[in-house]
Amino acid sequence: MAELFAGVGGFRLGLEKAGWKVTWSNQWEPSTKTQHASECYERNFKSGIHTCEDIAKVADSLQNKDKKWVVPDFDLLVGGFPCQDYSVAKTASQAAGIHGKKGVLWWEIRRFLELKRPPYFFLENVDRLLKSPTSQRGRDFAIMLATVSELGYSVEWRVVNAADYGFPQKRRRVYIVGVHKSKLKKGEFQGKSWILSEGVIASALPVSQFSGDESPAFKLESDIVKLSDSFARGFKLSPFLNAGVMQGGEVWTYSVVPKFRGKSVNLEDILIPEKDVPDEYFVEAGQISTWKYLKGAKREERTNPGGGKYFYTEGAIPFPDHTDTPARTILTGEGGSTPSRFKHIIMTPSGRYRRLTPVELERLNGFPDNWTKGMPDGRRAFMMGNALVVGVVAKIGKSLKSFAEKRN
């Protein structure tokens, strides 16, 4: 497989557990001088070709056949492509969608698929992708589906909350699997049965309920310009539900419910002993009231820059965080000692409050301890806020490998 937007290697960790081999990878962050993620990736993985370069330049090189960067052929293209323009961490009005600075990186994925024509791809993003932008709910995902359909791929997707399948973090992401028509048998990648039981994702992560009928929900406009202009215009809700398949532009989409009967791992199960926690992770007594305020419910009168008055409201976040359930989603701002509404705070057995350590954040995503060691703690937390849950990738990767082996 080849890995785009590799980050610190979560996709690779999961897929290597599932039996895939990485031959080429790329990670580059344009906004930072020190490439912490790429350095972490190279430090932990010794095999395969790794590049730290603008992915558009690499794609240009492939397209121009100048051989500046060598990308071996591969069976599977993977990537957790940058999601800032789709993230729920932004307000709806701020989310620029597929035309945003980060969202445009979708087109580099599309270029790699066109230039290398791998039989399979496997992508991950925030679930907001299915309903972006606010003016045309689901348009961005519709364009993505239509562009890979042009290349002969069928696609299945599922929104997965990792905690629903026993993992110790409530992390919702959309997972997208594509298969080229050359690897499909007649009748595959279609309809209710594929989503509920026969599909790659359903085989890995079972579901028990659905809504929808047997017929395709709709067919995508094949003209991308028309699709971009007209799709879901005026819709209040996206037509894409939390699971679905697309083949030949026809879309089946359903609401499904996870089915899991195993043992769940909770936040308390991954915590390190209190005696081993460095002092800087404990909250000073004088800051506790600030933490409580930031995490509490609010209805406050505030003033706009222009002078108008309005009421700001928000619900409460638990303080301290419950440890007998899976943790809340790790965000990129988890690091640092500054009080924050979104950072995790737990109470220790001795009654003290503390933040989570980098090792605990790594464990919540399924990384080995100290995977990100060697960079500042704030960056380590940022990397885990950007990462995915390794175990979910491993389950889908194993199912995809089994599917692929039957077609070799």
Amino acid at 73: D
- 260: tokens are 């899991």
What's the CATH number for 2-261+388-405? Answer: 3.40.50.150
Cis peptide before 278 (omega within 30 of 0): no
Q: Give me the pLDDT at residue 91, please.
A: 40
What is residue 371's predicted lDDT score, i.e. its pLDDT? Answer: 98
Share of the chain above pLDDT 70, in %: 94
97 pLDDT more than 60: no
Least confident of 36-45, 99-108, 194-203: 99-108
Catalytic residue among 22, 83, 160, 383: 83
For residue 397, the model assigns a pLDDT of 98
Average pLDDT over residues 252-268: 95
Ordered DSSP codes for 188-250:
-S-HHHIIIIISHHHHHS-EEE----SS-SEE--SSHHHHHHHTTBT-SS-S--SEEEEETTE
* CB contact set of 258 (below 8 Å; sequence gap of 6+): 160, 161, 164, 165, 205, 206, 207, 208
User: Quick one: average pLDDT of 354-362?
Assistant: 98
Model confidence at 95: pLDDT above 80: no
Q: What is the pLDDT of residues 268-312, one digit of tens each?
A: 999 999 999 999 999 999 999 999 999 999 999 989 888 889 898
Give CA–CA dist 16/390, Å, rounded.
10
Residue 21 phi/psi, 5-degree rounding, is -120, 130
Q: Are 292 and 129 in contact (CB under 8 A)?
A: no
User: How far apart (Å, rounded) are the C-alpha atoms in residues 2 and 285?
Assistant: 49
| Beta-bridge partners for 247 | 250
Q: How far apart are CA 257 and CA 280, in angstroms?
A: 41
**Structure confidence at residue 92 (pLDDT):** 39
Task: Find out whether 79 and 11 touch, Cβ atoms under 8 Å.
Answer: yes
Q: pLDDT band for 177, please (50, 70, 90 cuts).
A: very high
Q: Which pLDDT tens digit goes with each residue over 312-349?
A: 899 999 999 999 999 999 999 999 999 999 999 999 99
Say what the pLDDT of residue 133 is: 86
Average pLDDT (70-86) is: 81
CA neighbor of 323 nearest in space, from 345, 302, 341: 345
Report domain extents, the chain. 2-261+388-405, 267-368
Is 168 in contact with 262 (CB distance < 8 Å)?
no
Q: What is the mean pLDDT of residues 12-31?
A: 95
Report the pLDDT value the prediction gives residue 83, as an integer from 0 to 100. 54
Residue 246 pLDDT > 50, yes or no? Answer: yes
CB 169 within 8 A of CB 162: yes
Token pair of 116, please? 């290398």
Question: How far is the C-alpha of 288 from the C-alpha of 296, rounded, in Å?
Answer: 12
**What pLDDT does residue 399 have?**
98
**pLDDT at residue 176 is higher than 50:** yes
**Model pLDDT for residues 25-70, shown as the tens digit of each residue:** 999 998 888 999 999 999 999 999 999 999 999 999 999 988 888 8
Phi/psi of residue 306, nearest 5 degrees? -80, -5
pLDDT band with cut points at 50, 70 and 90 for residue 215: confident
Q: Left, alpha or beta for 19 (phi > 0: left; psi -120 to 50: alpha)?
A: left
Q: Please give the pLDDT value at position 189.
A: 87
Q: Which of 242-256, 297-311, 372-386 shows the lowest per-residue confidence on average (mean pLDDT)?
A: 297-311
Annotated catalytic residue 52: no
Q: Which two tokens stand for residue 27?
A: 């990670």
